[in-house]
Structure 1
Amino acid sequence: MTPPSRLLGRPALVGHAQRIAETADHRPAVRVGLGLAIPAVALLALGRIDLLIFAVFGSFVGMYGRGQMAGVRLRQQVLATGLLGMAVAAGTALPAVGAGPPVIAACAVAYAVAASWLIERLGLRPLGPFFVLFAFCTFATLPLEARRDSEAIAEVGLLVFAATAAFCLGMGQLTRIGVLGPFRSAPVPGSAIPTPPAEAAWRAATYGVAVALAAAIALGFDVGHLGWAAAGAAVPLAAPTFGRRLARGAQCLAGTMVGLAVAAVALLPGWPPVARAVLVIVLMFPTEMFMARNYGLALGFFTPLILLMMSLVEQADPAWLLLDRFVGIVIGAGSGLVVAALFRRAP
């Protein structure tokens, strides 16, 4: 008898799983939101707003394993913790050893290929290396090396990341006792199927080419946060077909534009750092709420989240930060769409 996965096809099966998971968007969103809110409030109480960025990336662990049984979710989130943790550690280490933008760009390409292949073969959801690549690039370009206490910040920051990720693992298991989601006796159909090796290698190669193109353009135009361009190149390629990649690229650009408008208000002078930190915490909930249902809308919340997060670490002019994000996402999404067209396959 032909397996259902072959009758429906992988994109259709995954899409069916996504529609099932979308029926209860608020539950995983609450889990992810609390996964950041509680550690972040603890950091605010301790007066360590500068470490919030590590907690934010630790909370990304909670985005994995959506709609799965508690055991499957735990496995996916543990694997995601490893991938994100290596990205944060490697990204933090590069500036410390004096790596310049060209070296960071080359490492970003290598990490995109390796992370994509692993995520596809391990059946992690969400698909694509965006979050781990974004983590790597963010910390690789973070100006911590200019501060005298950069080594101490990096060490304590990694502990904050690990503690937040561990807390999110616990939040993900609350469904075992019927809290923040029903207990599942079976996983959502098709939502954790590993990609066949040849297909995984093909997709990893397309990510590598897209990230290399985006990074090269960003270096040529001297974009400050070349990681935004590199990670943005991965966004359209996460969709399974060329048509959906075009739609995802358009959503990425539109959502970013809306998010930049929101961020422009939040970055106005007069907002105290604590208020910006609270906004970061609040914005995590709608980001996860709409991530699977409407990617463009999710980016409308995610964009101000990351810009506010960066403003708490960098002493940069807000206008420059907004412009850098705009240029980076245009380069990134554009590069991803170009590669999607060049490496186009029939649906």
Structure 2
Amino acid sequence: MQDSGRRLLSLGPSRVDHIPALRIALGLALPLLALLLTGRLEWAMFAGFGAFTGIYSRYEPTRLRFRRQVTAGAMLTLCVTAGAALARLGESLSAPVESWMTLLVGSVVAGLAAAFVLARGLKPGGAVFPLFAVAAVASAPPAAPVWVAFAVAAGSASLCVGLGLLGHWAGERHPGADVRAAAETWTRGQLAAEFGAFALASGLAGVLGLASGLPFPYWAQIAAIALLSAPGRTLKVERGLHRVVGTALGVVTTAFLLSFPSEPWQLVVWVVVLQFLAEMYVLRNYAFALLFITPLALLMVQLAHPQPVGPLLEARVLETAIGAVAGIAVVLAGALRIRWAARRAAPDTGGSAEPTGAESGRPGAS
């Protein structure tokens, strides 16, 4: 408990964070500036999710980063396109059917993306960004034809890949960073376990979020799978608790930023600044970084599809808490299952049972 409190209140060592933070923020700023100048800020989510490509492969060698960012960019572009297609389809469905469809597809995407990211060795691990992309776009009113969503996301992702090629030249490297070129070999069972953990946590959180009557059930889904990216059960539970604390504080930041009238260009500036600050601190203190991640996500929603501020902030806190509870429940259930399997195997193996996928404490296990 003391260690958890210390990690909540302390910053980890700096790793030349300002260089990747600047690269990632620039990869978001340029597409948003283009949309602002062309009067198409309703496409901001397409560009923003494509720009998440830049978050992958921090500190890695140029060739490895290029390959992995191309892979991540293709994954995110596919998720944005799928979300846009779901939004179009949802126009012909009743609201409950549309909500359940988005929940189900989001859960499947979370599982598939987590297994894919694990198999390909992408960093950061997990499926927060793919789930966020497909669910947020699907939940918003259609802002453009599906091909436009694809083109904007792909263009934004391509820009970030290009900026990634310049990162090493600009000094984005760190001797202590994990730059292994070869991804670990995972068995089908381990990948299936990863899929199951993420799909289950996402689905459970989504059902609870939907049952709560709150407007954004996918926020609960994201909170549930975010904690699964931490290595080991203890740190997973800790990350869930830190996410609730950080989100609550981040909502205060958001309330301040939205407490006075803002022009669209001002929101764009805030989004870019918040992206930079989030990347500066996300590897050093997760809860502290949520002071910037939370308003970043909410301002992106406001750019593309403005919402009443009060209900928006309330829903963010409550759905994050719902998701954290669901995610922690899945982690604890997995621990009990492993213990039960170990007891059953004890007569033959001396009580050892190897956890796999998201249930493992290995750093590579998302």
User: What is the TM-score of this pair, normalised by structure 2?
Assistant: 0.82
Matched, 1:81 2:79: no
The corresponding residue for 2:346 is: none
DSSP-derived class of the 2:312 partner: helix
Structure 2 letter corresponding to 1:64: Y
- 1:25-44 CA-to-partner distances (Å, cap 9, x unmatched) read 11111110111112222222
The 8 Å contact of residues 16 and 174 in structure 2, kept in 1 or not, is answered as no
DSSP-derived class of the 2:200 partner: helix
Structure 2 letter corresponding to 1:260: V
1:108 pairs with one of 106, 109, 133: 106
1:127-142 aligned within 5 A: 127-142=125-140
The corresponding residue for 2:178 is: 188
Question: Could you say if the C-alpha distance between residues 28 and 102 of structure 1 is closer, same or farther in structure 2, counting changes exceeding 3 Å?
Answer: same
The 8 Å contact of residues 20 and 167 in structure 2, kept in 1 or not, is answered as no
2:278 and 2:126 mapped to 1: Cα distance? 17
| Runs of 4+ with deviation above 4 angstroms | 189-192
Question: Could you say if the C-alpha distance between residues 38 and 192 of structure 1 is closer, same or farther in structure 2, counting changes exceeding 3 Å?
Answer: farther
DSSP-derived class of the 1:126 partner: coil
Unaligned runs of 5+ in 2: 1-11, 339-354, 356-360, 362-366
Q: CA RMSD in A?
A: 2.2
Matched, 1:330 2:321: yes
Kindly state the Cα deviation for residue 183 of structure 1 after the two structures are TM-superposed: 10
The corresponding residue for 1:60 is: 52
Q: Percent identity?
A: 32
- 1:154-188 CA-to-partner distances (Å, cap 9, x unmatched) read 54343222111111001100145x2242599x983
1:106 and 1:294 mapped to 2: Cα distance? 32
Matched, 1:168 2:168: no
The 8 Å contact of residues 202 and 225 in structure 2, kept in 1 or not, is answered as yes
Kindly state the Cα deviation for residue 195 of structure 1 after the two structures are TM-superposed: 5.3
Deviates more, 1:192-201 or 1:34-43: 192-201
Kindly state the Cα deviation for residue 118 of structure 1 after the two structures are TM-superposed: 0.7
The corresponding residue for 1:30 is: 22
Structure 1 letter corresponding to 2:71: L
The corresponding residue for 1:291 is: 282
The 8 Å contact of residues 83 and 132 in structure 1, kept in 2 or not, is answered as yes
The corresponding residue for 2:358 is: none
1:156 pairs with one of 141, 148, 151: 148
The corresponding residue for 2:84 is: 92
- 1:39-79 CA-to-partner distances (Å, cap 9, x unmatched) read 22222222222222222111100010112111111111111
Kindly state the Cα deviation for residue 116 of structure 1 after the two structures are TM-superposed: 1.0
Structure 1 letter corresponding to 2:178: V
1:222-241 aligned within 5 A: 222-241=213-232
1:250 pairs with one of 220, 241, 247: 241
The 8 Å contact of residues 249 and 291 in structure 2, kept in 1 or not, is answered as yes
1:97 and 1:41 mapped to 2: Cα distance? 30
1:183 and 1:292 mapped to 2: Cα distance? 13
User: What is the TM-score of this pair, normalised by structure 1?
Assistant: 0.86
The 8 Å contact of residues 120 and 128 in structure 1, kept in 2 or not, is answered as yes
2:138 and 2:200 mapped to 1: Cα distance? 20
- 1:104-129 CA-to-partner distances (Å, cap 9, x unmatched) read 11111111111111111111110101
Matched, 1:71 2:63: yes
Aligned length: 320
Structure 2 letter corresponding to 1:193: A
1:268 pairs with one of 239, 252, 259: 259
Question: Could you say if the C-alpha distance between residues 237 and 187 of structure 1 is closer, same or farther in structure 2, counting changes exceeding 3 Å?
Answer: closer
1:45 pairs with one of 33, 37, 53: 37
